[in-house]
A and B are shown apart, each in its own frame.
Chain A
């Protein structure tokens, strides 16, 4: 069974059709790269799957649970890091993760926080407040809250945006470590990331899926990925 199943999702903001009938599914072990220009509908699609927005039409299932009909069950199996990795600025890193663990009612929350701090290499900033973190640490914290409960489904909206090469390497390393046990969707503008991280590519433009294929098939479209991207999203 697919861990993420999206059927004919539609979402409009007033007269703007952000998502126009998107369908796809993601199996365990797949890391799907979401590509598309700004305003293509990537984030909206992710928000619809994560239950942040309600779809006007269609269905999104996470781990077999309909996000609209059984939101709590669906979200229990989901880890989601929104664009920009928002977090409570006045809390310390440790407090924020503890809050996430408590809200999810995780058993042994202190242990979960400790393990997540280690996994995401956040120990050295554990006592710092969020507003004093560098962008790299902040993005890792966003990632950390999304994986603290070891979810089956992971949705990450531009998790490496604005990071330096070392920080990008760190996030990708952590993601690769756990990817085989999960269904993952990662949105990105960095085309090189597809080769390093993903097993499959979905290109979205104007609220529609323009391409849904394996990484290998996508990379064979041409040697210049920027050109491939431009053609697909025109």
Chain B
């Protein structure tokens, strides 16, 4: 069998950690990451103040801030996730990754966690709005924390979808547009935009069930301080389902 000079097979955790480190650092090697963070912050704050009228409402909570997060994630998670696999394919480095002694799922997990942490960084930068609300009023800190947890889970769900789109193509623009359209559809479903189209075909019970798979429907309980199992399971299913499916797509290349 093998000679004594060859190293042992790498541990899964060290491989995931190496991928995670490279990917996370990779986001900050180009100015695009800073543009992304600035855009997310600007839109998140602007929408809360100028569309949601969070200040005029005179209520010390952030539900008008989180209200727009599904829209933001639907656009920005695919923007951050488009490079996950498409960039590897474009550069040809996927050939290295797949011939190094690591599993595709280890690569996928490392990449996904790095992208998720990048989105979490974007979310973290909006914390001054929470401090402002705390300064102006007396908000329930638990509700704000659960809102942030919900938003982070929502970001993970959009990233799961984006990672599937990225695994399907070597073109980042196509990956972004495909991911965005899929996430956008999930936002619209939650607002009942398609009720008129499907109203004649299905019963109100089915329509209501369809609306339940919308992003906002599942984020809303978090913004009210309710951390239910169902929305948590929904977001995690989309996150890890996307992760699993992208792994299968790459494995079956």
- Interface residues of chain A, those whose CB is within 8 Å of chain B, are 1, 47, 50-53, 63-65, 71-73, 75-78, 80, 82, 84, 86-91, 99-100, 102-107, 145, 149-152
Contact = CB atoms under 8 A, between A and B. Distances in A.
B29 interface: yes
Interface stretch (B100-108, B115-123, B136-144, B213-221): B100-108
B2 A64 contact: yes
Contact of B7 (A63, A64, A76, A90): A76
Contacts of B9: 72-73, 76
Given A63-B2, A86-B92, A90-B29, A103 B99 contact: no
A50 B102 CA distance: 13
A97 B93 CA distance: 13
Interface string B70-102: 000000000000000000000111011011111
A145 B92 CA distance: 14
Given A105-B8, A151-B6, 12 more contacts: A50-B99, A76-B9, A76-B10, A80-B96, A86-B92, A86-B95, A102-B18, A104-B7, A104-B100, A105-B15, A150-B5, A152-B3
A102 B14 contact: yes
Contact of B2 (A65, A91, A99, A104): A65
Nearest to A155: B99
Interface of B: 1-3, 5-11, 14-15, 17-19, 21-22, 26, 29-30, 91-93, 95-96, 98-103, 253
Given A78-B99, A151-B6, A103 B19 contact: yes
Given A87-B93, A99-B22, A72 B99 contact: no
Contacts of A87: 91, 93, 96
A90 B26 contact: yes
Contacts of B11: 105
